[in-house]
């Protein structure tokens, strides 16, 4: 975390919060994310379960996001991202972050974002430059994996920050078959429906 970033397992957002007919996609909870300004950053991730696995084995990446009208007024792309810290094992690089950048979600409801085939991924650092998959030229997940066919995963995380203030939530992160359901008392791994 950098500055005023905060990630926390929580209940809701739900109808009980005065939001109408809104409930988390699974269970009663979610991963709350807050940043107070554009200089803050928050990340919530896993450095154990996927560590050392082949990046090319990831084919499905999706999650649900809850954002507000205030977030959307700042920018429709003011949303959390999914990031894989990887060893590209290519181009002389041993570290880069593969980032999915969502473009829009409806306000005050849960929206499923499917990153599996969208052309909204990029690598950071020198490998982004050498791979051609960077913040200037986004690529698909398949293209990113093809650019680093021997890449292995260090960690995966939900990230928000270093762009805009944000207050919202994420739930049901799907990585292939497992879905990670964020609940007030922990993260539950379950099969995808």
Domain boundaries, the chain: 6-187
Distance of CA 155 to the CA centre of its chain: 12
* Residues 6 or more apart in contact with residue 168 via CB below 8 angstroms: 32, 33, 65, 66, 67, 68, 71, 79, 80
pLDDT value, residue 18: 63
In which residue ranges of the chain is pLDDT below 50? Answer: none
Q: CB atoms < 10 A from the CB of 185, how many?
A: 8
9-25 pLDDT, tens per residue?
A: 999 997 666 666 688 99
Q: Is the Cβ–Cβ distance between 32 and 10 less than 8 Å? A: yes
Strand-strand pairing, 29-35 and 41-46: unpaired
Model pLDDT, residue 15? 62
pLDDT reported for residue 13: 92
| H helix runs in the chain, sequence order | 69-74, 125-131, 141-147
Fold of the CATH domain 6-187 = Jelly Rolls (2.60.120)
- 73 by Cβ neighbours in 10 Å (0-12 / 13-18 / 19+) ranks as exposed
Ordered strands of the 121-123 beta sheet: 41-46, 152-161, 81-87, 96-100, 121-123
Beta bridge partners of 169: 32, 66
């Amino acid at each position: 975390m950098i500055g005023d970033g905060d990630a926390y397992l929580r209940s809701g957002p739900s109808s009980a919060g005065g939001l109408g007919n809104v409930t988390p996609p699974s269970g009663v909870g979610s991963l709350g994310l807050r940043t107070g300004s554009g200089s803050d950053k928050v990340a919530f991730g896993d450095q154990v379960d996927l560590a050392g696995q082949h990046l090319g084995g990831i084919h499905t990446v999706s999650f649900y996001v809850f954002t507000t009208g205030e977030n959307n007024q700042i920018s429709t792309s003011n949303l959390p991202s999914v990031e894989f810290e990887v060893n590209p094992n290519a181009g002389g690089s041993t570290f880069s972050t593969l980032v999915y950048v969502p473009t829009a979600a409806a306000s005050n409801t849960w929206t499923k974002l499917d990153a599996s085939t969208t052309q909204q991924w990029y690598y950071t650092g020198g490998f982004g430059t050498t791979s051609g998959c960077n913040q200037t030229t986004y690529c698909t997940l398949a293209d990113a994996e093809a650019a680093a066919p021997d890449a292995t995963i260090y960690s995966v995380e939900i990230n928000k920050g270093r762009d805009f203030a944000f207050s919202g939530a994420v739930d049901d992160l799907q990585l292939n078959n497992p879905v990670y359901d964020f609940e007030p008392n922990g993260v539950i791994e379950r099969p995808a429906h």
